[in-house]
Chain A
Amino acid sequence: MKTHPSHMGVGTSSILFILVVVSLTLFASLALIQARSDAALTQKTSVSTAAYYDADVRAQSMLIALDDALKLGEAPDSVDGVAKQADGSYAFSVGSSDGHALRVSVDVSSGRCQILGYLYENAEEWVDQSTGTLWQGG
């Protein structure tokens, strides 16, 4: 019976092994990087949610202070942070820790607060930046 000699020389399996290990390490590292970026995003969401509800709680306290002032016959401006607007309504703003602000405007003509606006918006100014290396067209 004729035997055929193997064509696999020494080193072929090493090359295969290196390829397999590199691939496994690459995929495992990518999975870890993805998981960590997901966790970071979740953490950001958690922080911004907590910041919103913290601002909301403080805004509710401001509304209580305004209502109490109205009940006691005091001017709404006497409450810290409350300012009269051009249209006769009153407004105040509550800052949050993530750069947003909760802007509340109220009507006090009926002797108690009636909310006209309750907006949670970005409090930071837009800053013009150089376009850098962006393609300008043409």
Chain B
Amino acid sequence: MMDQTMLRPPKKRGVFSPVLIEMTIIILFFALSTSVVIRLIAVASTTARQSAYESQAILAMESVAEQVKANPVGDGFCNECGARVFSVEVTDTLSVDCVVTSDDSPLQGTLYDIELTVTSPEGNVYALDAARYVPDAEEAP
């Protein structure tokens, strides 16, 4: 005797494939671990970029310092404060700002104080101070 329930197709049991479960877990863990790894790489990149810029800035400041020490008077143009202010552009993102002030208090010459600064695009300031004493006899033509 067949009734209504016997005519219905048998229900399929909800069985997930083990491979599908494994892949789902893997994708989740991969997403998590990738976020950590990307953060590590980002920190490494930032550190490397900053140290490369600092290295370039130091070399540029040393170079400008030696140039100014070789000829502290330069073109002789000073601002109203008596300081020679100029900027040396090394690259598009790196320029060395230089302030040269002269001090005539020594009895036999002039002391030139050289202040160099580089400001990075991130706002870090690198500074270097140098000085050059030029005896009067050296300044005479």
Q: Report which A residues bind B (CB closer than 8 A).
A: 8, 10-11, 13-14, 17, 20-21, 24-25, 28-29, 31-32, 34-36, 38-39, 41-43, 45-46, 49-50, 53-54, 56-57, 60-61, 63-64, 67-68, 70-72, 112-113
Query: Does B30 belong to the interface (CB within 8 Å)?
Result: yes
Please, could you name 22 A-B residue pairs with CB atoms under 8 Å apart, sorted by A? A10-B22, A11-B22, A17-B30, A21-B30, A28-B41, A29-B40, A31-B41, A31-B44, A32-B41, A35-B43, A35-B51, A36-B47, A42-B52, A42-B54, A45-B55, A49-B61, A53-B129, A56-B130, A57-B129, A57-B131, A61-B133, A112-B137
Known: A11-B22, A13-B22, A53-B129. A46 touches B54 (CB 8 A): yes
Counted as pairs of residues, one from A and one from B, with CB atoms less than 8 Å apart, the total is 115
Residues of B within 8 A of A60 (CB): 111, 131-133
- Give the bracket for the number of chain B residues in contact with chain A: 35 or more
Cβ-defined contact, B47 with A32, below 8 A: yes
Residues of A within 8 A of B130 (CB): 53, 56-57
Query: Does B23 belong to the interface (CB within 8 Å)?
Result: yes
Query: Does B65 belong to the interface (CB within 8 Å)?
Result: yes
Residues of B within 8 A of A29 (CB): 40
Known: A49-B58, A53-B130, A63-B133. A68 touches B107 (CB 8 A): yes
Query: Does B67 belong to the interface (CB within 8 Å)?
Result: no
Nearest B residue to A11, CB-CB: B22
Residues of A within 8 A of B108 (CB): 67-68, 70-71, 112
Contacting A at CB under 8 A, from B82-141, are: 106-109, 111, 126, 128-133, 135, 137
A59 CB → nearest B CB, Å: 9
Docked complex Cα distance between A8 and B22 (Å): 12
